[in-house]
Structure 1
Amino acid sequence: MSKPELQAIRNIGIISHIDAGKTTVSERLLYYTGESHKLGEVHDGTAIMDWMEQEQERGITITATTTTCRWREAWINLVDTPGHIDFTIEVERSLRVLDGAVVIFSAVEGVQSQSESVWRQADRYRVPRICLINKLDRIGADPERVLEQMARRLAARPVLLQIPVGREAAFSGVIDVLEERLLTFVEQDLGATVAVGPVPAELEEEVRLARERVVEAAADFDETILADFLDSRPVSSERLRSALRRGVLACQLCPVLLGSALRNKGMQPLLDAIVDYLPSPLEVPPVPAQRLGEAAAEPLVLPCEPRGPLCALAFKVLSDEGRKLTYLRVYSGTLRIGDELFNGSRGVPEKLARLFRMHAHRRERIDEAVAGDIVAAVGLKHALTGDTLCRAELPLVLSGLTVPDPVVSLAVEPRRIEDRERLPAALEKLQWEDPTFRVREDRETGQTILAGMGQLHLEIIVDRLRREFGVEVQTGRPQVVYCETVLEAADHREVFHREADGRIQHGEIGLRLQPLPRGSGVRLQLPEAEAGSLPPELRTALAESLSRACAAGAGSGYPLTDVEVRVPAAPFEPGMTTEVGVRAAAQRCLSLAVVQAKPVLLEPVMALELLVPAEAAGRVIGSLPQKRGRVEGLETRPDIEVIRATVPLSEMFDYMTELRSSTAGRGTFTMEFSHYDPAPEDVQRRFGLR
Structure 2
Amino acid sequence: MSLKILNRNAVISLLERNWFQANRVSSHCWYSTRKIGEVIQDVERIRNIGISAHIDSGKTTLTERLLFYTGRVAEMHEVRGKDQVGAKMDFMELERQRGITIQSAATYVMWKEHNINIIDTPGHVDFTVEVERALRVLDAAVLVLCAVGGVQSQTYTVNRQMRRYSVPCIAFINKLDRQGSNPNRVLHQLRSKLGHNAAFLNIPIGLEGNHQGIVDLIHEKALYFEEPQGLILREDEIPANLRAEAKDRRQEMIEIVANVDDDLGEIFLEERTPTAQQIQDAVRRTTLDRSFTPVLVGSALKNKGVQPLLDAVISYFPNPSEVSNVCLDNSEGIEKTKELTLDPTRSTEPAFVGLAFKLEAGKFGQLTYVRVYQGGIKKGDTIINTRTQKKTRVQRLVRMNADEMEDVPEVFAGDICALFGIDCSSGDTFVTKGNTHLSMESMFVAEPVISMSIKPIKKGDIDNFSKGIARFTKEDPTFRVQWDEESKETIASGMGELHLDIYAQRLEREFNAKCVLGKPKVAFRESLIASCNYDYLHKKQTGGQGQYARVIGSVEPMPVEDNTKLQFSNETVGTNVPKQFIPAVKSGFMKACEKGGLAGYKVTGIKFRLEDGANHAVDSSELAFQLATEAAMREVFEDGQWHILEPVMTVEINGPEEYRNDVLENITERHAIIQATDSNEGFFTIFCEVPLNEMFGYATELRSLTQGKGEFTMEYSRYCPALPETQDQLIQEYQEAHAAASAGGQQRKKKN
Q: Give TM class, smaller chain.
A: over 0.9
Report what 1:558 is aligned to. Answer: 601
Q: Which of 585, 592, 595 in structure 2 is aligned with 1:549?
A: 592
CA distance in 2, matches of 1:675, 1:564: 19
Q: Note closer, same or farther for the CA distance 1:224–1:326 as it changes in structure 2 (3 Å cut).
A: closer
Q: Which of 419, 443, 449 in structure 2 is aligned with 1:401?
A: 443
CA distance in 2, matches of 1:592, 1:393: 49
Report what 1:283 is aligned to. Answer: 322
Matches within 5 A, 1:194-343: 194-220=233-259, 222-291=261-330, 294-296=333-335, 298-305=336-343, 307-321=349-363, 323-343=365-385
Q: Note closer, same or farther for the CA distance 1:159–1:295 as it changes in structure 2 (3 Å cut).
A: farther
Q: Note closer, same or farther for the CA distance 1:245–1:429 as it changes in structure 2 (3 Å cut).
A: same
CA distance in 1, matches of 2:613, 2:393: 41
State whether residues 65 and 303 of structure 2, in contact with CA within 8 Å, keep that contact through their aligned partners in structure 1.
yes
Deviation at 1:265, TM superposition (A): 0.5
| Structure 2 counterpart of 1:589, one-letter code | A
Report what 1:540 is aligned to. Answer: 583
Between stretches 84-93 and 499-508, larger displacement belongs to 499-508
Deviation at 1:28, TM superposition (A): 0.3
Matches within 5 A, 1:284-683: 284-291=323-330, 294-296=333-335, 298-305=336-343, 307-321=349-363, 323-381=365-423, 383-395=424-436, 396-498=438-540, 503-520=545-562, 521-527=564-570, 531-532=574-575, 534=577, 537-683=580-726
Report what 1:688 is aligned to. Answer: 731
CA distance in 2, matches of 1:215, 1:235: 9
Between stretches 416-425 and 602-611, larger displacement belongs to 416-425
Deviation at 1:686, TM superposition (A): 3.9
Deviation at 1:285, TM superposition (A): 1.3
Q: Which of 68, 71, 88 in structure 2 is aligned with 1:34?
A: 71
Deviation readout 1:240-260 (Å, 9 max, x if unpaired) = 111110000001111000000
Report what 1:9 is aligned to. Answer: 46
SS in 1 for 2:555: strand
Deviation at 1:287, TM superposition (A): 2.0
Report what 2:171 is aligned to. Answer: 131
State whether residues 527 and 570 of structure 1, in contact with CA within 8 Å, keep that contact through their aligned partners in structure 2.
no
Structure 2: give runs of 5+ residues left out of the alignment.
1-34, 736-752
CA distance in 2, matches of 1:493, 1:425: 45
| Structure 2 counterpart of 1:237, one-letter code | A
CA distance in 1, matches of 2:235, 2:248: 21
Report what 1:83 is aligned to. Answer: 123
Q: Note closer, same or farther for the CA distance 1:321–1:263 as it changes in structure 2 (3 Å cut).
A: same
Q: Note closer, same or farther for the CA distance 1:11–1:664 as it changes in structure 2 (3 Å cut).
A: same
Deviation at 1:482, TM superposition (A): 0.8
SS in 1 for 2:101: coil
Q: Which has more radius of gyration?
A: 2
| Structure 1 counterpart of 2:363, one-letter code | E
CA distance in 2, matches of 1:688, 1:663: 36
| Structure 1 counterpart of 2:722, one-letter code | A
CA distance in 1, matches of 2:538, 2:379: 53
Deviation readout 1:531-554 (Å, 9 max, x if unpaired) = 425555533333233223324445
Q: Note closer, same or farther for the CA distance 1:301–1:38 as it changes in structure 2 (3 Å cut).
A: same
| Structure 2 counterpart of 1:527, one-letter code | N
State whether residues 54 and 153 of structure 2, in contact with CA within 8 Å, keep that contact through their aligned partners in structure 1.
yes
Report what 2:60 is aligned to. Answer: 23
Deviation at 1:352, TM superposition (A): 2.9
Deviation readout 1:26-53 (Å, 9 max, x if unpaired) = 0000000001111021012511101111
CA distance in 2, matches of 1:150, 1:573: 64
CA distance in 2, matches of 1:374, 1:534: 49
Q: Note closer, same or farther for the CA distance 1:43–1:508 as it changes in structure 2 (3 Å cut).
A: same
Report what 1:54 is aligned to. Answer: 94
Deviation readout 1:385-433 (Å, 9 max, x if unpaired) = 1121123522212211111111111101232232223333321211110
Deviation at 1:480, TM superposition (A): 1.1
Between stretches 274-283 and 313-322, larger displacement belongs to 313-322
Report what 1:169 is aligned to. Answer: 209
State whether residues 217 and 244 of structure 1, in contact with CA within 8 Å, keep that contact through their aligned partners in structure 2.
no
SS in 2 for 1:432: helix
SS in 1 for 2:251: helix
Report what 1:102 is aligned to. Answer: 142
| Structure 1 counterpart of 2:323, one-letter code | V
| Structure 2 counterpart of 1:138, one-letter code | R
State whether residues 260 and 291 of structure 2, in contact with CA within 8 Å, keep that contact through their aligned partners in structure 1.
no
CA distance in 2, matches of 1:351, 1:441: 36
State whether residues 554 and 590 of structure 1, in contact with CA within 8 Å, keep that contact through their aligned partners in structure 2.
no
CA distance in 1, matches of 2:332, 2:95: 43
After TM superposition, the runs of 4+ consecutive aligned structure 1 residues lying more than 6 A away are none
| Structure 2 counterpart of 1:7, one-letter code | E
CA distance in 1, matches of 2:532, 2:268: 65
CA distance in 1, matches of 2:543, 2:700: 59
CA distance in 1, matches of 2:90, 2:542: 57
Q: Note closer, same or farther for the CA distance 1:556–1:345 as it changes in structure 2 (3 Å cut).
A: farther
CA distance in 2, matches of 1:66, 1:276: 22
CA distance in 1, matches of 2:645, 2:718: 9
| Structure 1 counterpart of 2:340, one-letter code | L
SS in 1 for 2:560: coil
Deviation readout 1:262-320 (Å, 9 max, x if unpaired) = 11110000000000001110111132332267344x42211224621322111111122
State whether residues 260 and 292 of structure 2, in contact with CA within 8 Å, keep that contact through their aligned partners in structure 1.
no
Report what 1:182 is aligned to. Answer: 222
Deviation at 1:502, TM superposition (A): 6.1
| Structure 2 counterpart of 1:461, one-letter code | Y
Identity %: 36
CA distance in 2, matches of 1:315, 1:232: 49
| Structure 2 counterpart of 1:24, one-letter code | T
Q: CA RMSD in A?
A: 2.0
| Structure 2 counterpart of 1:88, one-letter code | T
For normalisation by structure 1, the TM-score amounts to: 0.96
Between stretches 273-282 and 386-395, larger displacement belongs to 386-395
CA distance in 1, matches of 2:549, 2:594: 22
| Structure 1 counterpart of 2:239, one-letter code | P
For normalisation by structure 2, the TM-score amounts to: 0.88
State whether residues 611 and 667 of structure 1, in contact with CA within 8 Å, keep that contact through their aligned partners in structure 2.
yes
State whether residues 46 and 116 of structure 2, in contact with CA within 8 Å, keep that contact through their aligned partners in structure 1.
yes
Deviation at 1:109, TM superposition (A): 0.6
SS in 2 for 1:178: coil
Between stretches 228-237 and 126-135, larger displacement belongs to 228-237
State whether residues 524 and 647 of structure 2, in contact with CA within 8 Å, keep that contact through their aligned partners in structure 1.
yes
Between stretches 282-291 and 432-441, larger displacement belongs to 282-291
